[in-house]
Structures are given as C-alpha cells and as structure tokens.
Amino acid sequence: MPATLTTPPAEPISMPAHVMACPQCGLHVDLPALGTREEAFCPRCDEHLVSIPRSPVDGPLAFAWTSLILLLLACSFPLLAIDVQGNQTQISLLQNAETIYRRDFALLANVLLLCVLLLPSLFLLAIIYLFSGIKFVHRLPGMRPLATLAARVQPWMMVDVFLLGAIVSMIKMASLAQVGFGLSFWALLGFSLALTRTGSLIEPHWLHYRINLLHGTDPTQRQTGPTHGCHTCGFLSPASDERCRYCHATLYARHPRSLQKTAALLLAAIVLYLPANLYPIMLTESLGRTTPSTIVQGIFLMWQKGSYPIALIIFVASVFIPIAKMIALGLLCLAAALPRQVHPLHLTRLYRIIDFIGRWSMVDVFVVIILVTLVRMGSLMSVHPGVAALSFCGMVLTSMLSAMSFDVRLLWDVQQPASTGHKYD
Ligand SMILES: [Zn+2]
Ligand SMILES: [Zn+2]
C-alpha cells in the first residue's frame, strides 16, 4: 500500500523508494523516495513511519553534546534549597539517591539513578557514537546493536517527570518553609529540553539505513519471494531468515506469548496498586509527631490548603492515569483475544495514549524522594518514605512493561491474520 506523504517530494533524495513494515500494525508500506523535511505515515494506522529532518546528522550530534554538558552541570551544583526557621539545607541530584539508599529504599534510588542519570547518559553516548560514525563515514564496531539499544532505552528516560516532581515538591513545601531552586535545577531543565529534542530527531528506520550503508549493504533493495518485516528497523528480510539481516533483531510473526506477558504484568500492576493506596506513601515528622499520609490523603490535604493545581497533578498522575491505563490494557487484551466490534484503529490510538502517558505516574515517587532528601531536620521537621512508595513504583514499572509487551499487530489480525505455519509479518 502506498504511504501518506505530508509534502510533495523534494530534492535532495535522502532515502530511495522502498518497502517498509509499519512497526505498529505490520502493514508493508510502499514508500516513495524521501527528501529532506519529508515525513511518511502508515496509510492504515496513521503511525509515523519515518521523516528526514533538515540536518539529520548534525542536529542529533549538536543536541546530544549540549545535553551531556547540561547533565554534567546539573550534577555539579545544588538542585533545591530549603530554609526552616534558620535551618538551611541544600540538596544535589546525587544526594537524592544517596539519602534514599541510606533509608533502605534501594529500589527507589535505583529507579532515580537509572531513569534520570544513567539511561539518558547511555542514550546520549550511543547517539554521539553512532552519528559520529555516520558523519565521518566510518564504520565503527557494534553500531547495529547500539542503535537498537538506544531505541529501547528511550521510553525509560524520565528527566522531565523528575523535573515536574521537583516543582511539585517545592510548591508543597512553600507554605512551611522558604524554598528556592538551585543552579542545577535550571541546568536540569535545559538538559530535559535538549534530551527531548535529541530523542525527537532520532529516526530508527533512517538510522538503520545509514548504518547498513556503512556496512556495505543496502536494505532498501527490493526482496524477491516471501519476506519478514522487522519490528525494530522496519526493513524486510527473506522469510527463511530467523534474524533481521539489517539490525540482527529476532524476527517474529507476532511477539511470542505477547498477550500472556501483558496480562501477567497487568495483574502484577493491579496487585501492587492495592498496597500503594492502602499504606502510607510518606511520613512527616514535625515537633516529635509523626503523621503518615496515603496518596489520597495527600491529595485531599493539598486541596484543603488551596493548592488546587498540585492536588490535580497528583490526582491525575497517581490515581487517574494508573487506573485508566490498567482498564485500557485489560480492554486491549480482551480485544486482541476475542472477536472484536471496535475498529482496530481506535484501539491502536488508545494504545498510543496509554503508552505515552504511563511514565508520568512516576511523579509522586520522585516527589517522595526529593522531600525525604530535602527535609531532614530531625524532630523539627523530617520526611520519611512510606512502604507504599515501593509498591507504587513497582506498579508504574510493571504497567509500563505490560504495555510494552503488547503486540499491537494482534489488533489488526482480523484484517490481515498472521500465518500459523510460517513466520511472516
Ligand atoms: Zn500501520
Ligand atoms: Zn531489523
């Protein structure tokens, strides 16, 4: 089927005409030759297939270097400062993780280190490595697996969610103490923006095409005979191959046991969500008195204090999104398993929404981490993490894994069923 183009073809041509497998619905799409600033969409499910930015190599390189420098600055200065009756505390990004480790909440510290520091650093280094190789037309070792790894890491980077957590924490504390943002906060804000821009400039299909050209193979050449579509790079390999010959990913007609994995992880998320709401997520110690508060109690408290935007943010992130996501995943599993009445396009759009919003649920976890680190003044005022923070964090991670395990192509199998005897896409 021919692809939908946003603009008429323009010179110079950056990618020749070829067939691409849609990563979402699996349709094999005939792409025309694509020039700079052109973008192609799947004619069946509207999925963005590939676009060629104005500077497809220098753009990602410039933003990746900028992001790395801003990350170094963000780690070098104080992030937030608080003053309670003359007692001043400043915290840095790394202090957050260290303090949480000391309180025996290693899972939270690992999530913070991984999602805010390590995975973004790994992603940026991989991008600099890959695009330097492309820019200087030099084949570097491990380019294919590194390109796949960079794409897999992207959904787990949560610098923007952490920043929202920092803002919520500061507003929460504003009525009790003098609070202020340090230099690191502004560096982190710049880092978040530059990182988001770097991610938006990466086109996995185009990246794999250029890497293959460096290896002396042209993945856009027409294949004769039956073919597999690769879910990772979108190019077609002969049906007899077990692995994609262009990115080396394993080829499947559909992800093995996709529905079972999605349902099992969804069940785990539902189970974890119960203690996350029943037990306190945070304990506040003030003048010798300890007050535990659950997620819902925290929302009511902020509402009563008149902090309506904060109450709304926490309600949406911690109550509305998790519940909506769990219901939607359950519906998608049912729709994929049973004869369905709903058009697959509507279900695919629902999947895209829950896949996009899921990670924002982590806001409350970051708020707890920041407040625990920031408010440490003994019996005068201290904040301690509650056990619900662990189960809530586990719920967010399992629900994200559940959404990632779901093979959207199952929704389209009524229109184009997968062969049972032979692998194909
Ligand atoms: Zn599609
Ligand atoms: Zn591939």
Query: How many Å apart are CA 30 and CA 22, to the nearest integer?
Result: 10
Q: What percent of the chain has pLDDT over 70?
A: 93
Ligand nearest the Cα of residue 21 is: 1
Domain termination residue (choose one: 209, 238, 267): 238
Ligand nearest the Cα of residue 232 is: 2
**Cβ of 141: how many Cβ atoms within 10 Å?**
9
Query: How many Å apart are CA 379 and CA 289, to the nearest integer?
Result: 8
Flag whether pLDDT at 421 surpasses 60: no
The number of folded domains in the chain is: 3
Question: pTM value?
Answer: 0.88
145-190 pLDDT per residue, tens: 999 999 999 999 999 999 999 999 888 888 777 888 889 999 999 9
In a shared domain, residues 102 and 231: no
In a shared domain, residues 272 and 397: yes
Ligand 2 centre and the CA of 142: distance in Å? 14
In a shared domain, residues 83 and 187: yes
In a shared domain, residues 273 and 408: yes
Ligand 1 centre and the CA of 43: distance in Å? 7
Cβ–Cβ under 8 Å, residues 133 and 140: yes
Flag whether pLDDT at 9 surpasses 50: no
Residue 207 lies in a domain: no
Average pLDDT of 99-109?
83
In a shared domain, residues 293 and 352: yes
Ligand nearest the Cα of residue 45 is: 1
Ligand nearest the Cα of residue 219 is: 2
CA dihedral 405→408→411→412, nearest 10 degrees, is -140
In a shared domain, residues 83 and 124: yes
Ligand 1 centre and the CA of 236: distance in Å? 15
Q: Which pLDDT value is given to residue 3?
A: 58
Q: Which pLDDT value is given to residue 342?
A: 76
In a shared domain, residues 231 and 326: no
Q: Which pLDDT value is given to residue 319?
A: 92
Beta bridge partners of 2: 30
Flag whether pLDDT at 8 surpasses 80: no
Residue 420 lies in a domain: no
Residue 212 lies in a domain: no
Query: How many Å apart are CA 345 and CA 45, to the nearest integer?
Result: 6
How far, CA to CA in Å, does 356 sit from each of 59, 150, 361? 24, 18, 11
Range of the domain at 171: 56-199
Residue 247 lies in a domain: no
Flag whether pLDDT at 424 surpasses 90: no
Q: Which pLDDT value is given to residue 186?
A: 94
Q: Where are the beta strands (DSSP E) in 294-393?
A: 376-377, 381-385
Average pLDDT over the chain reads 87
Ligand nearest the Cα of residue 29 is: 1
Flag whether pLDDT at 37 surpasses 90: no
In a shared domain, residues 170 and 288: no
Residue 160 lies in a domain: yes
Domain termination residue (choose one: 238, 269, 300): 238
In a shared domain, residues 276 and 388: yes
Letter string b/e over residues 170-204, b meaning 16 or more CB atoms within 10 A of that residue's CB = bebbeeebebebbebbebbbbbbbbbebbbebbbb
Return the SS3 of 249: coil
Residue 209 lies in a domain: no
- Comparing 134 with 377, the larger pLDDT belongs to 134
In a shared domain, residues 276 and 394: yes
* Residue 327: band (very low, low, confident or very high) from pLDDT cuts 50, 70, 90: very high
In a shared domain, residues 323 and 365: yes
In a shared domain, residues 264 and 335: yes
Residue 245 lies in a domain: no
Sequence-separated (6 or more) residues with CB below 8 Å from residue 74: 93, 184, 187, 188, 191
Ligand nearest the Cα of residue 49 is: 1
* Maximum mean pLDDT: which of 116-125, 181-190, 275-284: 116-125
Ligand 1 centre and the CA of 192: distance in Å? 30
Residue 9 lies in a domain: yes
Q: Any idea what the CATH number is for the domain that residue 400 is in?
A: 1.20.140
